[in-house]
Structure 1
């Protein structure tokens, strides 16, 4: 996963140090030496995350952060305050300004990369929803894009996983008195998973030092569940335990609080997560309500050709503007006519639905999956490397052919295979139609090579078979 990082600092040495660390980790780095130039770059260069120094002449970091978070066009961009100030009051001032996280100088490399990757991952999901909503508006559907900064954050449903009764009572009292939250307390992972199955919580607050529990394993369990994958998780960590915190970010934690807990910081960090959770839920709800109007395939439930033709140009434009890769995967069911001839069209429809479900389950949640028509499907994958795509293509191909599909009224399953063509963006003049055409030609090469195969076009070595 790559991202564009804006570093804002008036000290050239600090900028060069951060730039070197992030560039070595394959991030695209842009820089600004003061607040006004940073605000200009935000509008023109569309960074994915901002690393913002606090102590700058003229407009300090807190003032810059407030301006970023008060602008509807930029308030969704994560801001990490970089500071030599380590007092709790300084963190609270930053959170009140809208900061998403803090890094204290001297900066630990693992902490830096963990925070940047975590916040970038969250922003990519939010961007995908925002882009879909904007596409709906272009299609003339009755939907408006909500503003993150205007989301209400009170009376949230919170699950607190804490085996220290005194700490649990303190946290519950703070959230209930200040925000009217509905707080459920459990002491272990088994009880937590049971509660999550029964109640639609908006936030999980999890202690990382449970006495008889691997808290990170619980995070992994939550992230493995399709229904809970985007649930906000805020962890409680001991001071200076950067190693544990880095691991927590790697498995999917959103934010953290350092013990001993300070009430104001608890409230500010929990409200940030609630705000993001409700914003994403609102976008998802708008998306689901509008989907049935015109942009889903009535048989498979995935996007239809109309949506693909309207949304692919937007994804391509963003890819070219941000200088990120974009991959198109065209998938065609092998010998589908034989399925219809042998089992009938009802069985053929069943096979199409099952293949669509297997494709959807084996790509990222924000990848675009659409039915082009007949027995052809398209997957559009923004911001990913060709090696990552090769692994995804093989996973999709194997998922379709690896398990038989049981047709209605048939006791024995039938093996269905697909041929897949892959193409990637080729320069600033590339067009959606040309991208789809190259993927289509690659798909036919996969069929010519024997079917149940994938073929990649446009790589540096020319066209190349990549599976089976």
Structure 2
């Protein structure tokens, strides 16, 4: 059994009854008679969820939320679910307004209670993983991206009555569009929603049954799904919706105010998670990209070349590499400054990129040296590509930033290839093959420099 659930309730019989209900949670359960006792337990042993009574005598929900964050000391703080009396709607709304992750009626049946706990645990683990990756990204030295502007959320309500749409729009403080089952399942990629509330009643299948289909549909895959189940079997439907992937689910009559509070909280969590994912993707891109030219960097290019070379040697497929080096680049830096040199490097990269196909790989090896990998191309095709690169570099002078002048730039290129006709070679020679391929291309580059620059030289020996 892993993980801990804290129960904080001043009434001993309620604590004991709730612990019995949580047998199916497969977590260690720790009991506390007050908020302060629960916080002290959380300091001793990190907990995943705190189930706190709404009528704790010593701490309000807002105070509990704040102090749980302080207790975590940089780790993921416990999710906070507030237990409210059965008929106390105001207590539920107050708890949600104060920042509780969930507000659960105390008489909720065990299956729905456990489903709500599983949802809280999933959300907490997902957020903790994203924050860990974000911490790794920062540790690697990637700068914090600027905060973006949050556009208004695109929210739809699957409901049979327009009055429900109007009530939710008023409570949410923003437009909520009405949609029917046919419309929601016909949404295209350009109709992506930020949130969808499923509250349709009637005699048809429960709206919760749509959750798997919506999770598999592009327009709603990443949307917040909130289910309002009503009628007979509402608690079972809500539990099913949560376990199928809904972010939240209610059982009972339509309550626009509570739905709006839950919807706002789930959308805020989604925005935070989206930002963390965006930061992660930006960090991954930065790890393999040269910041000046936008091409792949050496860290990415050399392992990729080793893999492609190994594949070519095993399968007999052709592979060629070009090493391109700008001619007399130091003279440009000396005459015009390093800013001008950087502009020349960036424009060289842009011209290289425009001349290649999608399957080709271009990287900056360092300084003024570039690597181009041509999968499926033999030496003859590589020479044609090299001559084209020489021409597009030399034929148009490079404009210099902040100056009314331009500079003529040329490039020398060395080529080496793994000839497909040579037939398969044992896979163990792959990494050595990549190193040898680069060495031959480098020798060819020196030959091009020695023969006058602004030309292509190909290494002719077998791979």
TM-score interval (norm. to shorter): 0.5 to 0.7
Query: What is the number of residues matched between the two proteins?
Result: 316
Work out the CA distance in 2 between the residues paired with 1:48 and 1:168: 36
Return 251-260 or 132-141, whichever deviates more. Answer: 251-260
| SS of the residue 1:340 aligns to | helix
| SS of the residue 1:195 aligns to | coil
CA contact (8 A) 1:129 1:280 kept: yes
Partner of 1:342: 316
Partner of 2:441: none
Distance 1:171 1:21, change over 3 A: closer
Partner of 2:112: 111
Show structure 2 runs of 5+ residues with no match: 290-297, 301-306, 321-357, 360-463
Which of 1 and 2 has greater Rg? 2
**Counterpart check, 1:130 vs 2:138:** no
Aligned match for 2:163, one of 166, 171, 174: 166
Q: TM-score, normalised by structure 2?
A: 0.57
Distance 1:142 1:285, change over 3 A: same
Partner of 1:422: none
CA contact (8 A) 1:42 1:74 kept: no
Partner of 1:281: 274
Work out the CA distance in 1 between the residues paired with 2:152 and 2:6: 35
Partner of 1:254: 247
Shift of 1:206: 1.0
Aligned match for 2:154, one of 152, 157, 170: 157
- Aligned-CA RMSD value: 4.4
Partner deviation per Cα, 1:234-278 (whole Å, 9 max, x = no partner): 112227721111111111111134554444323311110111111
Work out the CA distance in 2 between the residues paired with 1:8 and 1:130: 27
CA contact (8 A) 2:6 2:50 kept: yes
CA contact (8 A) 1:133 1:143 kept: no
Work out the CA distance in 1 between the residues paired with 2:149 and 2:49: 23
| SS of the residue 1:113 aligns to | helix
Shift of 1:66: 5.3
Work out the CA distance in 2 between the residues paired with 1:184 and 1:74: 39
CA contact (8 A) 1:119 1:254 kept: no
**Counterpart check, 1:197 vs 2:189:** yes
Shift of 1:131: 0.7
Within-5 A mapping of 1:18-417: 18-61=18-61, 63-65=63-65, 67-68=67-68, 77-143=78-144, 155-175=152-172, 179=173, 181-188=174-181, 190-195=182-187, 197-209=189-201, 212=204, 214-225=206-217, 228-238=220-230, 241-257=234-250, 259-294=252-287, 340-344=314-318
Work out the CA distance in 2 between the residues paired with 1:212 and 1:51: 35
Work out the CA distance in 2 between the residues paired with 1:8 and 1:28: 14
Return 155-164 or 132-141, whichever deviates more. Answer: 155-164
| SS of the residue 1:343 aligns to | coil
Q: TM-score, normalised by structure 1?
A: 0.56
Distance 1:196 1:16, change over 3 A: farther
CA contact (8 A) 1:153 1:275 kept: no
Show structure 1 runs of 5+ residues with no match: 297-303, 307-332, 352-468
Shift of 1:213: 5.1
